[in-house]
Amino acid sequence: MIVVFKPGAPENEKAKIKNMLIKANFQINEIVGQNLTIYGVIGDTSSYDPRTISVNAWVDKVMRVQEPYKLANRLFHPENSIINVKDVQIGGKRLVIMAGPCSVETQTQINTVAKAVKESGAAILRGGAFKPRTSPYSFQGLKEKGLEMLVKAGRKNKLPVVTEIMSADKVEEFAACVDLIQVGARNMQNYELLKALGKTKVPVLLKRGLSATIEEWLMSAEYIMSSGNKNVVLCERGIRTFETYTRNTLDLSAVSAIKKLSHLPIIVDPSHAAGMWWMVEPLAKAAIAAGADGLMIEVHNDPANAWCDGAQSLKPERFATLLEQLRALAPLVGREL
């Protein structure tokens, strides 16, 4: 961290700041110029709030040179992390495709989709049981019943399952039967939920918040990791921008940024980014080309009559074709499928 004082800052004010920093166990490297004094603060400043210092009227600016996240930071963990979801490895050479309907509707529906996506090469079955809907009047998910149906379909088709959790009081129940627990975009900053998930060892799929910066997203991963659970997979699912044509704007630069800043695997959800089924295929290919470790894709056997997100869901046949194309693309970026 670097502290720059305003010209003419009195010695006693500078001493106040110096004492505060020394008390917090930092060393100070002082640079005194003709007009300005600069402090180079040496030590782990990741958990130090720079506003403690910038509040002083004689401090011009405080600049961080170290990111505030530590456990998620590639600096302290240079090699890629591989997260195991049952026998599926996320973050290795093999791309991981998670697929299934937005919501579990009936046992037959989830079984049908599970069988189809397994045959096409998906490694993990998705399906929402607790749904975070914008309107309280929309279908809210089958809840416990849906969870049960999803787990059954997963077991039957030998697919680990991923599904969304919305509150901390459900962590124990989810940990008992869900292989990868999804934190949705709307709950990325539900810190009590993140801390509760940190107390388990079950892998967590952490989606990026609708308007979250990359740093805020990694700080949410840090919440889970610092509470004791290092098994975090990130998921870019589009962010809010001025553009209204698409449901969200897929931020593919986030894939590169995360790869540089963090060792955690990152997958991309082109379905919630686009909001339209015909855009899923090109965005999925672009995500793999950009270096994503996998994808989450909504697949429905009858999109026109889906209870949720039918417009962005692929039919199983289209999903199969997409995976064939991705299989051809993967080696070009050093991956396999």
Residues that bind Mn ion (CB under 5 A): 102, 309
For residue 81 the two structure tokens come to: 């992390």
198 belongs to the binding site for ligand PEP (CB under 6 A): no
CB of 237 closer than 8 Å to CB of 266: no
Give min distance, CB of 271 to ligand PEP, in A.
8
**Which of ligand PEP, Mn ion, none is residue 300 near (CB under 5 to 8 Å by kind)?**
none
For residue 21 the two structure tokens come to: 């920093």
124 belongs to the binding site for ligand PEP (CB under 6 A): no
Q: Report phi then psi at 324, rounded to 5.
A: -60, -45
**Which of Mn ion, ligand PEP, none is residue 133 near (CB under 5 to 8 Å by kind)?**
none
Give min distance, CB of 237 to ligand PEP, in A.
4
Q: Measured between alpha carbons, how far is 186 from 200 in angstroms, rounded to an integer?
A: 21
Bridge partners, 41 (sequence order)? 28
Q: Pick the closer one to ligand PEP by CB: 46 or 246.
A: 246
Give min distance, CB of 79 to ligand PEP, in A.
28
Q: Pick the closer one to Mn ion by CB: 218 or 308.
A: 308
Q: Identify the residue among 114, 117, 185, 268 touching ligand PEP (CB under 6 A).
A: 185
Cα 270 to Cα 124, 186, 276, 294, distances in angstroms: 16, 17, 9, 11
**Beta strands 2-5 and 59-63, pairing class:** antiparallel
Give min distance, CB of 247 to ligand PEP, in A.
9
For residue 262 the two structure tokens come to: 């963090």
Chain centre distance of CA 248: 16
**Which of Mn ion, ligand PEP, none is residue 132 near (CB under 5 to 8 Å by kind)?**
ligand PEP
300 belongs to the binding site for ligand PEP (CB under 6 A): no
For residue 122 the two structure tokens come to: 């998906």
CB of 236 closer than 8 Å to CB of 250: yes
- Other Cβ atoms less than 10 A from the Cβ of 333: the count is 12
207 belongs to the binding site for ligand PEP (CB under 6 A): yes
Q: Report phi then psi at 270, rounded to 5.
A: -75, -20
316 belongs to the binding site for ligand PEP (CB under 6 A): no
102 belongs to the binding site for ligand PEP (CB under 6 A): yes
Contact residues for ligand PEP, defined by CB under 6 A: 102, 128, 132, 164, 184-186, 207, 237, 269, 272
